[in-house]
Amino acid sequence: MSKNSPRNQLGFATRAIHIGQQPDPLTGAVIPPVYHATTYVQDGIGVSKGYDYTRSGNPTRNGLEQCLADLEGAQAAFTFPSGLAAAATLLEALPAGSSILAHNDLYGGVYRLLADVRPVTAAHNVNFVDFSDEGALRQAILDHKPALLWFETPSNPTLRIVDLSLVAQLGNKAGAITVCDSTFSSPAGQRPIDYGIHVVVHSATKMLNGHSDLLGGVIAVSANAPDNLAERVKYLQNALGSVMSPTDCALLHRSLKTLEIRSVRQSQTALALARNLEQNAKELGLARVIYPGLASHPQHALAADQMINFGCVISVEVEGSLQRVERILTSTRYFHFAVSLGSVESLIQHPYSLTHAVVPEDQKSHLGIGAQLIRISIGLEDREDLEADLVQALMNNRA
């Protein structure tokens, strides 16, 4: 349980199963029907049953958003067709010309949105700094006077950990909105709003869904966020038409029911595999193993303090040539060589050429995202099978 969570509320798994999804009163169906309707009959002028057009509100989407808000400890949550759609909509809440301070270790798609798109379309002044470096962060806030602080923890793909309480404190002092991308963790792994963060965003495609069968994004807004931000996001969601389809809402709501048990199992397996890889790094031809649950991680103590579990992602730096890296990526049996993470099936990918290809070469080098870096997402397969698969791929491709 996070340090600020109320102790008198129902447990996480209970809420994930029941919040926002009551049995259908008409038929008694345990799972209510999916509402595909686009329009709703009005009872009179200004009189309705709460709906008029499904872009503005949909019963299936509303139930999902209620559940997500509850799990994050938020005032409200909103769902979008993708994680980037959620990010783009949130940025619309800022006036043109606003100053944004962003973590320098971000998913490539968000980096592109912040570095290339918004400075042109909205004249946003975007600067990047290492949010895990307190001194650099404090100075950057003084220098740039940001309206918004945007960061990931754990970060993608180097798994840096950002101090949630510190960013919340600095953001409040600066009068800035604080935004945490918690995709790598989910509310089953950490709850940034409990630590004072104003907004949590997710690519719901990843941990929240966990089945590689839908695109989605989430914005969850704290009751302590400034300037009626939740109302503004709701307005923008409708005004921009950036809404998740009813079918995808139903699929995502289904997935939330198993989120906690998936998160726990994936984290336990990831920790065991990371320890094994680190202990045998020399034999396996690994230069380093990165995982917040390892004592060797430079921010392990912070991760242990603010995370409920350490997540499903391990990054490893491979010794040897790019050819060796490619052979490893293509010789696993149970790890599919594919982007994304958090799914029930294990995945392995190459950030340098895939998720972070858009990031400039000098910045990738500075962050340690080299051609030898591999990112591994642990699924729900048996740990022994996953371990044997990784070991054989590494050992059989030593040369």
Give me the active site residues, please. 55, 107, 181, 206
Number of Cβ within 10 Å of residue 46's Cβ equals 6
Order the strands of the 217-221 sheet from edge to edge. Answer: 76-80, 217-221, 199-203, 177-181, 148-152, 99-103, 125-129
The helix (H) or strand (E) run that includes residue 79 is strand 76-80
Distances (CA, A) of 234 to 65, 90, 218, 319: 11, 10, 12, 48
Spacing of C-alpha 384 from chain mean position: 27
Residue 86 is encoded by which pair of tokens? 């959620």
Q: How far, in Å, CA of 45 to CA of 371, rounded?
A: 62
Q: How far, in Å, CA of 231 to CA of 223, rounded?
A: 11
Q: How far, in Å, CA of 199 to CA of 193, rounded?
A: 7
The helix (H) or strand (E) run that includes residue 110 is helix 108-112
Residue 300 is encoded by which pair of tokens? 């392990």
Closest alpha carbon to 129 in 99, 96, 109 = 99
Spacing of C-alpha 165 from chain mean position: 18
Q: How far, in Å, CA of 80 to CA of 208, rounded?
A: 13
- For residues 146, 152, 153, 156, the Cα torsion angle rounded to the nearest 10 degrees is -140
Instruction: Classify strands 99-103 and 148-152 as parallel, antiparallel or unpaired.
Output: parallel
Q: How many CA atoms lie within 13 A of 115 on its CB side?
A: 17
Number of Cβ within 10 Å of residue 17's Cβ equals 16
